[in-house]
Amino acid sequence: MRIPLLARVHLGALAVLFVLALSACLLVAGLPRAMQASFDEALQRSLAAAPATQADLAVSVTSLSREDDLYERAQFDARDRRWHALLPPALRPMVVPAGTGAGHMSAKTALTPVAGTGGQTYINLGWLSDAGQRVDWVQGRAPGKQSTTRYQGATIPVFEVGVVEEALTKMNLKVGQTKTIGESDYAAVRIVGVFKAKNPGDRYWSHNQDILRVTQLLPPGKLEFEHHITTLISDEGLAALSGDARNLIYRWILPLDARPVSALDVPGLGVALTEFGRVVELQSSNARSPYRLETGLPKLLDDFRAALSTAQTVMYLVLGGLLAVALGVIVLAVQLLADRMDHTLTLARARGGSLRQVAGTAAALTSLAVAPAAAAGYALSSLVPGPLLPIVHAGPVLVVLTAAGFAAARTAVTHRAPLHERRDDVAATRPSARRITLEVLVVVLALAGAYLLRARGLTQEAGQDPFLLLVPIALTLAAALVTLRCYPYPLRLLVRLTARGRSAVPFLGLTRAARARSASALPVLILLPALGVSVFAAVISDGIAGTQRLASWQSVGAPIKMTSKIEIPEPAIEQVRRAPGVAQVVLAQTAKVQVGYAAERADAIAVDVAQWRRLIEDAPISLPALSGGTSALVSPELRGRGTLEIGWQSRLKLTPQAVIASVPGFYTTGKFVVVPLSAQVRPSVNTLLIKGDASLDELRRLVPSATVESQEAALRAIQDDPLTTTVRWTLVVVTVALASYALVAVVLSLVIGAADRARAVSFLRTLGLSDRQARRLTVLEILPMILLTALVGLGLGLGLPAALGPGVDLSSYAGDVPVGDYTPGLVTPAALAAGLTAVAVLGAYAHIVIGRRRSLGAVLRVGDLS
């Protein structure tokens, strides 16, 4: 057959098919690339934001004897090169080259007590390979060579050390002072200088916080804090440092560069880390002091994988639904093209054309529209940044194969015998017992799968949980089968009711709707997943948005919160009250207090709860009322103790009034208590809760010692996360695309059945049917199936979040707050239902207007009226 001639004759149907295939291929090939690019960005951000001690690789070994000691820099450098050479291929691009970035080596002692302090003060010795590039000496000088001195009749080494300025005040140290350290093998440290970090915010110092900060520890059962500081020694001091007399640990830091990392590499990275740790241990020459790999990277990867798994699952659901609906709409368009070619192919078959020729013609004509559209969609998807995934290549191919295959198969079945005739006025045959049994089995399995998913939760140890992927498909198929089976029964009841009326139009319209051909199953199978998935996506998106707002309020506790480690002076508080945009200020004091008279401690906040409640009255968070100057709100860990006595500025005896799970903006776990601010003799205010739209920079200027947070900034931080942004935007795009496909499916179903409806209306026009009655008849024929399918699809979309239960854990995208409220607004469902109804009604009216222009002779054949 002449394919170009057929293409010119059926140009309109081919154009529709081209547009549908182009949009489908662009979405199927473009969305996965955008998603994967955002997954990669999210992983890179999470690794870059994590403390260096968690993300970087650290090889450590404990020196237990002089044979294990390293005395010079060259020994450290040789091992550093060895660790880089042993890196597995998967890790090598992520680790910065040796001697660059934040990579360095260190030797530090641990738990080295100062003699005569009863174990309350510890001064450790530390050597950093690049200390000269990282610190500036602000007092004294840099440490030099070690010397010796006499102590208790023995000669002991004296290490020249430098300390951070904080140690001078918190540990009462002075430049020039000498301290004796150790318990049996004594040594002395002489403080010769004070240093400060050139860039304290550098990730480098995450590995050396013990050098930059004084560590305070409260041992179990004690009331006084221990103070720990690690000092800096020189290269010459390293030569005298031995693990034979100290708790000495050597470390090699291999910093991570997150830029080359891809989310696709996560499974391989876990295996590579395990292999690297095993290889590092094999380098040990002494079984008593083996080399160890220390890193928090596996946990970071596991946490990301959990969040990624949820994102991928939701994306698989919505993209799988989008692909299924897109293929269904394309199949509808192919059916429209096949109906238009039916007369031509029937004539060709009657004139001796083989079945292969007829089916090949249909497939070739379909491919003529679909193949260029698929290529164009695939090419346009290359403009979307992101890696090339298998689905990017397979999606367009699947669209072409589905369209061409359906065209060939439908034509082969339809024209298997020459001069085929079909009776459209015969009611559908009764389904067989085998078919009914199979459909019932599908419904039962879908309900059982949903129940098991909620009952057992998720199992994602080996990847995606198959239940989470199969249950939504089964529920959608079950809903479609129930709709197709139950659809005629309420209509038949309405037919019986309308049969008693005087007007024939309702009876005829509903009768034709109840006796719809089996071809009407295809629009149902398209509209149900389209509406179900689009509503599901809209509900999920609304749930995420609402929970993000809740999480931002829970993290801050007020529109604006100012916290300071020291007391905020009263003049500064008055300046804050008078600042532009400040509507209300609530004073609070926070501290860690003693519970009872033992060493037990708890977090406490003293605040006027009534004022705080008024400040957050419009927020999604709340606190129970607190009455009385001795009442308190306590955490679950402090419940059931009767009168609670705490040591703060004075001894306070409190009566627990209510138990609260958290204090918004302050405490979420552990032991905590909320007391009235009036319970304090003289409140030492260090926290301000502010209502208004004041400038955060202005507030920071007024109280330089305070950290300023706002609920709006916290919300933006949650929303700006790459994974969160991608999930929400993908849900929005899929919702719009599925709604559009649903409308296209309605239009195509109207066009496909146009000839049959025109013939029926023409028959009735010969009996006196008016144009107005013809419009009503057509609307009554179309609307029942559209409305019923729309209602079932909306119900399916609204019920899927509840049916999936624990499978839809989106807390990673809502500030780690569980997304449990999937109560949707009425805007999206009403808009979708109204849109479908409007399209159906307009299509019916357009069909009548077009059909009115035709004469009866153009529709009815000779003998139809005899």
- The encoded tokens of residue 748 equal 């195509």
Structural domain ending residue among the three candidates 243, 269, 294: 294
Number of domains in the chain: 2
pLDDT in tens, 771-819: 677 777 777 777 777 778 778 888 888 777 777 755 566 776 776 777 7
Structural domain ending residue among the three candidates 265, 294, 323: 294
- Stretch 459-488: mean pLDDT, rounded? 70
Asked if residues 116 and 145 have their Cβ atoms less than 8 Å apart, the reply is no
3-state secondary structure of 705: coil
User: Amino acid identity of 795?
Assistant: G
Question: Greater confidence, 242 or 844?
Answer: 242
**CB-based contacts of 621: which residues, under 8 Å, 6+ apart?**
550, 553, 554, 557, 664
- Stretch 146-173: mean pLDDT, rounded? 90
- What φ, ψ does residue 153 adopt, rounded to 5°? 80, 5
DSSP structure string for 4-46: HHHHHHTHHHHHHHHHHHHHHHHHHHHHHHHHHHHHHHHHHHH
Pairing of strands 651-659, 104-109: unpaired
- What φ, ψ does residue 180 adopt, rounded to 5°? -95, 130
Q: Is the pLDDT of residue 45 over 60?
A: yes
Question: Greater confidence, 342 or 233?
Answer: 233
Asked if residues 557 and 661 have their Cβ atoms less than 8 Å apart, the reply is no
Q: Is the pLDDT of residue 458 over 70?
A: no
- Stretch 430-454: mean pLDDT, rounded? 80
pLDDT in tens, 738-783: 878 877 877 777 777 766 666 777 777 666 777 677 777 777 777 7
Q: Tell whether 740 is covered by a domain.
A: no
- The encoded tokens of residue 507 equal 């009876």
Q: Is the pLDDT of residue 484 over 50?
A: yes
Q: What is the pLDDT of residue 639?
A: 86
Q: Tell whether 310 is covered by a domain.
A: no
Q: Tell whether 29 is covered by a domain.
A: no
- The encoded tokens of residue 630 equal 């001795």
**CB-based contacts of 494: which residues, under 8 Å, 6+ apart?**
510
Q: Is the pLDDT of residue 327 over 70?
A: yes
Asked if residues 603 and 545 have their Cβ atoms less than 8 Å apart, the reply is no
Q: What is the pLDDT of residue 852?
A: 57
Q: Is the pLDDT of residue 608 over 80?
A: yes
pLDDT in tens, 614-651: 999 889 898 898 887 788 999 999 988 888 888 887 88
What's the length of the chain? 866
- Torsion, Cα 257 259 262 265, to 10 degrees, reads -20
**CB-based contacts of 421: which residues, under 8 Å, 6+ apart?**
none
- Stretch 344-354: mean pLDDT, rounded? 81
- What φ, ψ does residue 629 adopt, rounded to 5°? -75, -15
**CB neighbours of residue 574 within 10 Å:** 12
Helix (H) or strand (E) holding 700: helix 696-702
Q: Which of 241-245, 434-438, 457-461 has the lowest mean pLDDT?
A: 457-461
Domain of residue 239 covers: 57-294
Q: Tell whether 806 is covered by a domain.
A: no
Helical spans, DSSP H, in 515-591: 521-556, 570-578
Q: Tell whether 722 is covered by a domain.
A: no
**CB-based contacts of 47: which residues, under 8 Å, 6+ apart?**
55, 256, 258, 261, 297, 300
Distances (CA, A) of 359 to 353, 414, 766: 10, 10, 38
Percent of the chain residues topping a pLDDT of 70: 87
Local structure of residue 203 (DSSP, 8 states): G
335 closest CA partner among 398, 395, 402 = 402
Q: What is the pLDDT of residue 467?
A: 61
**CB-based contacts of 359: which residues, under 8 Å, 6+ apart?**
407, 408, 409, 411, 412, 415
How far is C-alpha 520 from the geometric centre of its chain's CA atoms? 38
Q: What is the pLDDT of residue 518?
A: 47
Tokens 């729309």 belong to 790
Q: Which of 294-298, 326-330, 382-386, 503-507 has the lowest mean pLDDT?
A: 503-507
Q: Is the pLDDT of residue 865 over 50?
A: no
Local structure of residue 519 (DSSP, 8 states): G
Over 787-831, what HEC string results? HHHHHHHHHHHHHHHHHHHHHCCCHHHCCCCCCCCCCCCCHHHHH
Asked if residues 35 and 726 have their Cβ atoms less than 8 Å apart, the reply is yes
Whole-angstrom distance, CA of residue 505 vs CA of residue 498: 9
Whole-angstrom distance, CA of residue 470 vs CA of residue 445: 11
pLDDT in tens, 649-670: 788 888 889 999 999 999 988 8
DSSP structure string for 397-460: HHHHHHHHHHHHHHHHHHTSSTT----TTSPPPPPPHHHHHHHHHHHHHHHHHHHHHHHH----
Q: Tell whether 246 is covered by a domain.
A: yes
Q: Which of 154-163, 364-373, 436-445 has the lowest mean pLDDT?
A: 436-445
- Stretch 188-212: mean pLDDT, rounded? 91
Q: Tell whether 785 is covered by a domain.
A: no
Q: Is the pLDDT of residue 424 over 80?
A: no
The confidence band for 575, taking pLDDT boundaries of 50, 70 and 90, is: very high
The confidence band for 461, taking pLDDT boundaries of 50, 70 and 90, is: very low
Q: Tell whether 781 is covered by a domain.
A: no
- What φ, ψ does residue 833 adopt, rounded to 5°? -65, -45
Asked if residues 829 and 536 have their Cβ atoms less than 8 Å apart, the reply is no
3-state secondary structure of 227: strand
Percent of the chain residues topping a pLDDT of 90: 30
Structural domain ending residue among the three candidates 704, 731, 754: 704
Asked if residues 510 and 784 have their Cβ atoms less than 8 Å apart, the reply is yes
Q: Which of 168-172, 257-261, 696-700, 849-853 has the lowest mean pLDDT?
A: 849-853
pLDDT in tens, 811-860: 767 767 777 666 656 676 667 667 766 776 676 666 666 655 555 555 55
What mean pLDDT value characterizes the chain?
83
Asked if residues 784 and 491 have their Cβ atoms less than 8 Å apart, the reply is yes
- Stretch 104-116: mean pLDDT, rounded? 91
- The encoded tokens of residue 509 equal 């319209």
87 closest CA partner among 220, 255, 309 = 255
Q: What is the pLDDT of residue 862?
A: 44
Q: What is the pLDDT of residue 462?
A: 42
Whole-angstrom distance, CA of residue 469 vs CA of residue 481: 19
**CB-based contacts of 347: which residues, under 8 Å, 6+ apart?**
none
- What φ, ψ does residue 236 adopt, rounded to 5°? -65, -35
665 closest CA partner among 594, 603, 578 = 603
Q: Is the pLDDT of residue 514 over 80?
A: no
The confidence band for 580, taking pLDDT boundaries of 50, 70 and 90, is: very high
User: Amino acid identity of 553?
Assistant: W
How far is C-alpha 542 from the geometric centre of its chain's CA atoms? 14
pLDDT in tens, 689-717: 999 989 999 999 999 989 999 999 999 88
Q: What is the pLDDT of residue 466?
A: 60
Asked if residues 758 and 847 have their Cβ atoms less than 8 Å apart, the reply is yes
